[in-house]
Structure 1
Amino acid sequence: MHANPTWLFDLDNTLHDASPHIFPHINRSMRAYIERHLGLEREAANRLRQDYWMRYGATLLGLIRHHDIDPAHFLWETHQFPDLKRMLAFHQPTLNALRRLPGRKLIFSNAPRHYAEAVLTLTGLAPIFDAVYTIESTRFQPKPSLEGFRALLAAERLDPKCCIMVEDTLDNLRPAKRLGMKTVWVSASSRSAPCVDVKIRHVTALPARYGRL
């Protein structure tokens, strides 16, 4: 690994825990959006949301492909939070752990920019990151699409062999590994996978495991 790597960090369920409050709220918002704009009943809207997520890696891609939905409108409407600060589950020691890591740090998230920047500001993470790449940055080609990775690498003029991808989603680490990056899987799972170089339960373990990368 390069003496000073570039770190690519996912956001949701990697740097904070989105599962208790944020993801359920987004799922409800997406279902409601599909009900409103496609005129579907609740159960049908939920099935469609999950079906597109399974088939394309993002509900949005199915809506663009099959229903001509405006992606910017969809992302704005489905990522509105009554009280984001209260909904965040963030572990404060994460800040010190990230500061101890050498090299530049970028956010690489499938979330929309307005939401990602709000999370980074509210958690205090914003000053740690040199750039934020969201779904808009990749022209709505979310991970695990290779196009999204290539867009980021080109924009930052990065050699993938000098990058470390930190993610909670195994499917998103496979393209990173294919491109030559080192990979860190943030997971409590007992599984192992050939695309994973290091597995940790929480990003606070990164400084101690950095030598393995």
Structure 2
Amino acid sequence: MLPELSHIRNWIFDLDNTLYPVSANLFAMIDARIGEYVRALLNCSPEEAHRIQKGYFHAHGTTLSGLMAEHGVDPHHYLADVHDIDMSVLDRNEALIEALARLPGRKLVFTNGDAPYAAKVLDKLGLAETFEAIHDVHATQYRPKPDPLAYQGLCEAYGLDPAQSLFVEDMARNLKPAKAIGMTTVWIDNGSEQAPDHDRSFIDYTVTDLGAWLHAILED
């Protein structure tokens, strides 16, 4: 293990666009279904639905949180609907599978999606048996990343010491609260729209290929 990471005991990973490449375009399908859900719920135009969807995302962390707060939407119904997508675009990444298997310590998924969806994705990726647990939006009591309480709840639920934990994410904004409580942070720079602004003080490592990076720190 790379000496500066030898203290890490807990490896925490985001799911979407982190454990699979952004080129899979899975989230675009989810995004489209979210827009359609909002349009049908509010009986508005697609353009207005998109505006509301993105407004809730930025104001509440997820569109779901906004819909729950403003319209009393049932989260289970919503998540089952928007995650009903074709996952055939996902492929196994043998290098990533091998690297994750070699990591010492505990491995968890921390997602703003729900566990049933995450389990399907992990199965398609060949990672169904890799992770100890999936900490999802239900477990956060619908206070999703980057709400600091989501990170506190994760650590309390699994007895994690943040100082011994590393968190990998493609959305830079979700790394800031992790760094604030002492986690080591890894940003997946994959060309998504969630790139950091000029402040990168909360990002410890920037990587483009997660599997290659994990192999590199293990072989150093």
TM (norm. structure 2) is: 0.88
Pick one of 203, 207, 210 that aligns with 1:196: 203
Q: Is 1:37 matched up with 2:41?
A: yes
Aligned residues: CA RMSD = 2.1
Q: Determine the structure 1 residue equivalent to 2:161.
A: 159
Pick one of 97, 106, 112 that aligns with 2:114: 112
Q: Determine the structure 2 residue equivalent to 1:121.
A: 123
Residue segments in structure 2 that go unaligned for 5+ positions in a row = none
Q: Determine the structure 1 residue equivalent to 2:68.
A: 64
CA distance in 1, matches of 2:90, 2:166: 25
Q: Determine the structure 1 residue equivalent to 2:26.
A: 22
Residue segments in structure 1 that go unaligned for 5+ positions in a row = none
CA distance in 1, matches of 2:190, 2:26: 19
Q: Determine the structure 1 residue equivalent to 2:10.
A: 6
Query: In the alignment, is the contact (CA less than 8 A) between 1:26 and 1:78 conserved in 2?
Result: yes
Aligned residues, how many? Answer: 210
Cα distance, 1:165 vs structure 2: 0.5
CA distance in 2, matches of 1:187, 1:99: 23
Cα distance, 1:17 vs structure 2: 2.2
Cα distance, 1:21 vs structure 2: 3.1
Deviations 1:130-182 (A, max 9, x none): 11111111111111111111111111111111100011111011000000011
SS at match of 1:87: coil
SS at match of 1:164: strand
CA distance in 1, matches of 2:115, 2:58: 23
Change (3 A) 1:75 1:19: farther
Q: Determine the structure 2 residue equivalent to 1:187.
A: 189
Cα distance, 1:24 vs structure 2: 1.6
TM (norm. structure 1) is: 0.91
Cα distance, 1:58 vs structure 2: 0.8
